């Protein structure tokens, strides 16, 4: 029989022993009084008894015994309690549950971390996409400005060539006009000289005939 020692045993020690007792053939379907496991030779630890029952109820390894004239301190093992007792006992079950919860917590933390990493990646990708679009717009503006500048340069070059050609043509025209003026002047002077010479001869003849 379990001998309760308040300085040594806690509620898990008591639950471990109770479950091991309840899976014995003699307890098949029977009710068990929890206070029997929370007594010392000199006292009864009611607080411990309530703690044990409530914990067993919370973990669904036992339930209140509803038999005829059974007090509220009487319990009966559940199907889950039988499985716990036969698979390593209560403390092993608690360790397994702790590891499971730890693994679930780690899985949840990893999932949250993955979500945060994905959100960070999405934000960084959106930032890079915006930078890319900005650079593409700047590139298009640069190409447009460069194209307009080249068009202006080509236009000015064309105008300059036209001016140079016009200047050359003008020089030829001025040269030709100079030669033409010179020739005309020479012809006019020569014509005047011949006219004067003819008049001189005529006058000379007139003078000679009067004598």
Asked if pLDDT for residue 7 goes beyond 70, the answer is: no
Q: Please tell me the predicted confidence (pLDDT) of residue 92.
A: 95
**pTM: predicted TM-score of the whole model, two decimal places:** 0.53
CATH of segment(s) 11-87: 1.10.10
Task: Using CB atoms within 10 Å of the CB of residue 64, give its burial: 0 to 12 exposed, 13 to 18 middle, 19+ buried.
Answer: middle
Partners of 75 in beta bridges: 32, 64
- The full set of domain ranges for the chain reads 11-87
The count of residues in the chain is: 211
φ, ψ of residue 132 in degrees (nearest 5): -65, -45
pLDDT digits (tens, 9 = 90+) for 133-166: 998 898 888 988 888 888 888 888 888 888 787 7
Q: Please tell me the predicted confidence (pLDDT) of residue 36.
A: 80
Q: Please tell me the predicted confidence (pLDDT) of residue 5.
A: 67
Asked if pLDDT for residue 95 goes beyond 90, the answer is: yes
């Amino acid at each position: 029989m379990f001998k309760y020692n308040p300085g040594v045993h806690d509620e898990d020690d008591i639950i471990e022993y109770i479950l091991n007792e309840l899976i014995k053939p003699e307890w098949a379907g029977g009710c068990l009084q929890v206070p029997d496991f929370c007594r010392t030779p000199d006292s009864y630890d009611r607080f411990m008894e309530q703690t044990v029952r409530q914990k067993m109820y919370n973990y669904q390894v036992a339930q209140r015994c509803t038999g005829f004239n059974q007090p509220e301190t009487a319990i009966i093992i559940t199907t889950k309690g039988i499985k716990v007792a036969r698979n390593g006992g209560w403390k092993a079950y608690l360790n397994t549950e702790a590891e499971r919860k730890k693994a679930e917590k780690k899985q949840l933390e990893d999932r949250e971390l993955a979500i945060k990493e994905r959100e960070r990646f999405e934000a960084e990708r959106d930032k890079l996409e915006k930078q890319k679009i900005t650079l593409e717009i700047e590139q298009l503006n640069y190409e447009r400005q460069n194209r307009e500048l080249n068009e202006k340069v080509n236009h000015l070059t064309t105008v300059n060539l036209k001016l140079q050609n016009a200047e050359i043509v003008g020089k030829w025209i001025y040269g030709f006009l100079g030669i033409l003026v010179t020739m005309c002047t020479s012809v006019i002077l020569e014509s005047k000289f011949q006219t004067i010479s003819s008049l001189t001869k005529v006058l000379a003849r007139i003078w000679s005939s009067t004598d």
